[in-house]
Amino acid sequence: MTAAMDTENALFDLPPDVADARAWAHDFAVRYIRPAAADYDAREETPWPVIQDAAIAGLYTPEFALQAFTDPSGLMLPVVAEEIFWGDGGMGQALLGTFLPLAALVGAGTPEQIRTWTPEFFGSVEHPAVAALCASEPDAGSDAANIRTRAEFDEPSGDWILNGVKTWATNGGIAGVHVINATVDRDLGARGHALFLVPPGTPGISQGQKFSKHGLRASHTAEVLLEDVRIPSGLVLGGKDALDARLAAARERRKVRVPAAMAAFEATRPSIAGMAVGVARAAYEYALDYAKTRVQFGRPIIANQGIAFMLADMATEIDAARLLAWRASNQLARGIPLRNAEGSMAKLKASEVAVRTTEQAIQILGGNGYTRDYPVERWARDAKIFTIYEGTSEIQRLIISRAISGIRIE
Ligand SMILES: Cc1cc2nc3c(=O)[nH]c(=O)nc-3n(C[C@H](O)[C@H](O)[C@H](O)COP(=O)(O)OP(=O)(O)OC[C@H]3O[C@@H](n4cnc5c(N)ncnc54)[C@H](O)[C@@H]3O)c2cc1C
């Protein structure tokens, strides 16, 4: 255990079940993720055998996922996410990508929908499945309210009919269940959006382009095309009656809840921060070990302040980012409103720490850091995603500045 992982002397002790889960996830990362990571990155393939290993180990199961989502301390998710992403960013995304649609289901679904659909998201040990949350579109990335994918209710059949093009979906097209953010009433902007479950094998849903990426290459990212996709009325998250009531309130300009997809992103930001901390910690630990053993000018390179101070900053920044992630997660679990956008603060800080730390790790490794024979260049490629997805760093700053000022900063 390294200094940056030794959090027992932080503000508080981890609850025993969270500490156990951390050790368990770390062990899984050491045994199954690290050894396979470079290969899946090079081949740009979803690591299905490792997802199955995680299912066998009990990490990739509906039971564990729901336990993590309902952990009263809120720390289970960021702590486990840190360990899995410490193993590898791309494989971590392949293993935890399903947790984003799960956050949407848990946040917006009825208890019956959560009970029925969570197992479908994960499949079985014999046949593991992944799930996808499709919110982004070609013309609606940061401007998430601008989606065009429509959900129309067909009264005679009692079905919803979905049409549109989604993009950048993690697990899009290879997922069993796709959770689709669609507009039911465009005049209402984001308040007219709802989330729909599209079960495996539903006609009309297909994969478009699969993206070849800079990092997170073991995670599948693709367009999802929806052409007259029919699903039963009960597959809108929260139920149709609740949706009708929400739309009626929005039309009468009464206050309505934050749209479900945005609520899912809010809830997952501290865990995304945990993932970024994991990648940063991996690079820091590697660079620390390297700096102690690489000798130039007759002494280890860490004996130079130029290198040692860089490592000191890395350790400090990683611990600061982790504490922000834990604070936001703990607030969410205790139902304390994130009035100063503490979730966005955690995501912003941890993303930028991951990018800076991995870049510094390459610098510390010198020429070796720049090659694929060493893992830090892969971690640097992976780290860049955190300033982009689930709200870019600029969007996090918008959210934070609006929250702290009460002014609509543009
Ligand atoms: C690997 C990967 C996985 C992803 N997984 C998913 C997924 O599972 N589901 C999903 O729905 N989406 C997913 N996304 C999409 C991701 O959330 C979007 O890429 C992200 O929200 C940014 O949108 P955009 O790419 O359209 O960029 P744009 O919105 O076009 O932004 C381009 C640039 O302009 C800046 N910008 C935009 N508006 C403003 C503003 N008002 N003020 C200041 N700067 C601004 C942005 O910060 C950015 O720097 C994924 C993306 C990637 C790359």
Ligand 1 proximal residues by C-beta, below 6 Å:
100, 133-136, 141-142, 168-170, 213, 216, 221, 385, 388-390, 392, 394-395, 398
Q: How far apart are CA 200 and CA 214, in angstroms?
A: 29
> What local confidence, expressed as pLDDT, does residue 297 receive?
98
168-218 residue pLDDT tens: 999 999 999 999 999 999 999 999 999 999 999 999 999 999 999 999 999
CA of 10 to the centre of ligand 1 (A): 34
CA of 265 to the centre of ligand 1 (A): 13
CB 266 within 8 A of CB 343: yes
59-85 residue pLDDT tens: 999 999 999 999 999 999 999 999 999
Catalytic residue flag (residue 317): no
CA of 56 to the centre of ligand 1 (A): 34
Closest atom of ligand 1 relative to the 398 alpha carbon = 42
H runs (alpha helix) in 294-392: 305-333, 342-365, 376-383
> What local confidence, expressed as pLDDT, does residue 1 receive?
45
**pLDDT(3) > 50:** no
CA distances from 104 to 204, 277, 314 (A): 22, 23, 33
Is 34 or 9 the better-scoring residue by pLDDT? Answer: 34
**pLDDT(352) > 90:** yes
Closest Cα to atom 29 of ligand 1 = 142
Closest Cα to atom 4 of ligand 1 = 168
100, 181, 211, 389, best to mutate for ligand 1 pocket (most atoms within 8 Å of CB): 389
Say how many CA atoms lie within 13 Å of 99 toward its Cβ: 30
Mean of the per-residue pLDDT values for the chain?
Answer: 95
> What local confidence, expressed as pLDDT, does residue 260 receive?
74
Residue with tokens 């809010």: 266
Catalytic-role residue among 155, 390, 394, 410: 390
User: At 142, phi and psi to the nearest 5?
Assistant: -60, -35
12-40 residue pLDDT tens: 689 999 999 999 999 999 999 999 999 99
Closest atom of ligand 1 relative to the 140 alpha carbon = 26
CA of 144 to the centre of ligand 1 (A): 9
Q: How far apart are CA 84 and CA 382, in angstroms?
A: 13
Q: State pTM to two decimals.
A: 0.96
392, 395, 400, 409, best to mutate for ligand 1 pocket (most atoms within 8 Å of CB): 392
Closest Cα to atom 6 of ligand 1 = 169
Give the mean pLDDT of 209-234.
98
User: Which amino acid is residue 121, in one-letter code?
Assistant: F
CB 47 within 8 A of CB 94: yes
Residues 6 or more apart whose CB falls under 8 angstroms from that of 137 comprise: 146, 147, 148, 149, 164, 165, 166, 167
85, 142, 170, best to mutate for ligand 1 pocket (most atoms within 8 Å of CB): 142
Closest Cα to atom 35 of ligand 1 = 394
CB 244 within 8 A of CB 52: no
